[in-house]
Chains A and B, each alone.
Chain A
């Protein structure tokens, strides 16, 4: 009982520890890159250049933007309802959708009913289907230059380690594609530079392996001791051979030898001749599983 109490304390501590972490989570949808003034950049299906908003699916599952709301007005969260039922609003994991801020909503799903104004701050927000739950928001500073985008250097990474928003003027304009172009696995590149011999990774990894298995060792050492004590107490009351074992701490082999010797002694004392035959009735229960008939195909009649 005490053991389970300890176990539950351990769980509560871990849970509290996890809950106390103040690290800000990146949202599932991120307003990832925004262009306010588009002079020579991305052209829409109608051959027009307008400001655009890129939204990024920051999860490992396909999500649908249909039914959610985009707005540039803090007081009107439902300003642009993204139409439902358009297959194009179903965004694959870690992929993007581009919305044109051209105030021409009748041009299609991805054409908003507002424009972005470079002379003032632009507030952009994405709301859940209820029009109340905020999914993500961003404030684009006033005075954005033409063909310049504002957003996050790495797709979907809105907050840094200290919880600060990492939005900046981006170096490259990358509509509908990754903001950071990764030519190589950054982890591998960094390891090649910092640990060319592999010693650091080896030491770290072995420490983790040992730590994990030592944790298991301690747990089972503890639970083993508890189980041993409990079983000793239980069998001590029964007065059986197991009880003798638990009290005398004799090894299994010794007890097996003693048992065999007692058994042999008892066998020697019997007065029944070993030539007596006992005939038992052999009975086989019927089961469809062992009948041959069931496993044979019957001929058609």
Chain B
């Protein structure tokens, strides 16, 4: 009899450790969110490289367990494996490594050939500060508002880096929001691009960019770093690694390093970053009203950034001669979701003129957006950290 009682006791204890026993409605909701991410990544191919690790990370992070038992498995339990991997997010060293890879894979030729496109990348940063203002009005403190605003930069690594410094408690919500909306760029941007442009503007053909010399390509990362980092030293980790990666690519003598940076390194960091960000959305810390507000403001910030880019091009066109006019459909590319937003410009442009290829033009503001959002992040850190 005693044996049976002990057995029942053991089973009861074991049951208290299982996920079934500890599950709450929040866990189930988050697991469903993770499954939606995986579904979108596989069937719709929305940013699969990000959504698969994040989606699966959400599943892992929301397996319920007995937190009081100190099992050292949760991402927020100091010393656990997940916690160690998460340090790259918390301490902010994954994002600069991602930027190294981005620099090593980005061709800035379009920007160098037509430097006025840089300004579109600057205009799109209104998304960040528009969202900052809205977040303040919704009751967030300035540092939290800055972290939420950075979603408008449409740059996951920048958003994570900035939030880990300004408002670490919002890291999960901001990261998931930034990556989700980056994946949803093909859904968010086109309606506003159509709404804000006339038929005549959409068929503007731009002069093909000139060929850029090797010297100019080498000068770009060096001068880009000096000009931007001197202005905003707080953005140094991001700007430094971005331009360093680009120099590895353009110097022509460090091909192996460039290939590692844009290949195995960025892939490894993307896996770790995506997975741990996903896992950080543990229902107990993630499912709050604040997170919903962050998502709402995040969506608005993408809209503001898209509209600001398009309006800026339209304004710029007022001062440009007929043959130098810019197609406002590339204005959306000022948000730095590389290369998706540039691809959207191309797709929408082709709808109205099947022989008008806007991709190479849109890549200019697109990569300028990367620089612009890193600069904006630096400014926010300077003011609020």
Contact = CB atoms under 8 A, between A and B. Distances in A.
B216 A220 contact: yes
B142 interface: yes
A185 B136 contact: no
A198 B129 contact: yes
A146 B125 CA distance: 57
B210 A228 contact: yes
A107 interface: no
Contact of A187 (B111, B368, B384): B384
B232 A212 contact: yes
Interface stretch (B4-12, B37-45, B223-231, B288-296): B223-231
A219 interface: yes
B384 A202 contact: no
Given A216-B115, A217-B118, A252-B208, A202 B133 contact: yes
Shortest Cβ-Cβ A-B pairs, 6 listed = A202-B129, A220-B115, A198-B133, A213-B122, A191-B142, A205-B379
19 contacts: A185-B385, A188-B143, A197-B133, A198-B142, A201-B129, A201-B132, A201-B383, A202-B132, A204-B379, A205-B125, A205-B379, A206-B122, A206-B126, A210-B122, A212-B232, A216-B228, A224-B115, A224-B212, A252-B208
Interface string B226-255: 011011100000000000000000000000
Given A212-B228, A227-B216, A252-B208, 19 more contacts: A185-B385, A187-B385, A195-B142, A198-B145, A202-B130, A205-B379, A206-B122, A208-B375, A209-B376, A212-B231, A213-B121, A213-B375, A216-B227, A219-B223, A219-B227, A223-B216, A224-B210, A224-B212, A230-B213
Interface of B: 111-113, 115-116, 118-119, 121-122, 125-126, 128-130, 132-133, 136-137, 141-143, 145, 207-208, 210-213, 215-216, 219-220, 223-224, 227-228, 230-232, 368, 371-372, 375-376, 379-380, 383-385
A18 to B, nearest CB: 10
A188 B384 contact: yes
Nearest to B116: A217
A214 interface: yes
A196 interface: yes
A197 B145 CA distance: 11
Contacts, number: 125
A220 B112 contact: yes
Given A206-B129, A211-B231, A212-B232, A191 B375 contact: no
Nearest to B124: A209
Contacts of A192: 141-142
A212 B375 CA distance: 8
A215 interface: yes
Interface of B is mostly: helix
Nearest to B146: A201
A210 B124 CA distance: 11
A188 B167 CA distance: 12
A22 interface: no
Given A187-B385, A216-B118, A219-B227, A209 B213 contact: no
Contacts of A228: 210
Contacts of A204: 379, 383
A216 B224 contact: yes
A145 interface: no
B122 A191 contact: no
Given A213-B368, A224-B113, A191 B383 contact: yes
Contact of A208 (B121, B216, B379): B379
A253 interface: yes
Contacts of B143: 185, 188
Interface in A133-181: none
B232 A208 contact: yes
A213 B372 contact: yes
B213 A212 contact: no
A251 interface: yes
B123 to A, nearest CB: 8
A218 B119 CA distance: 11
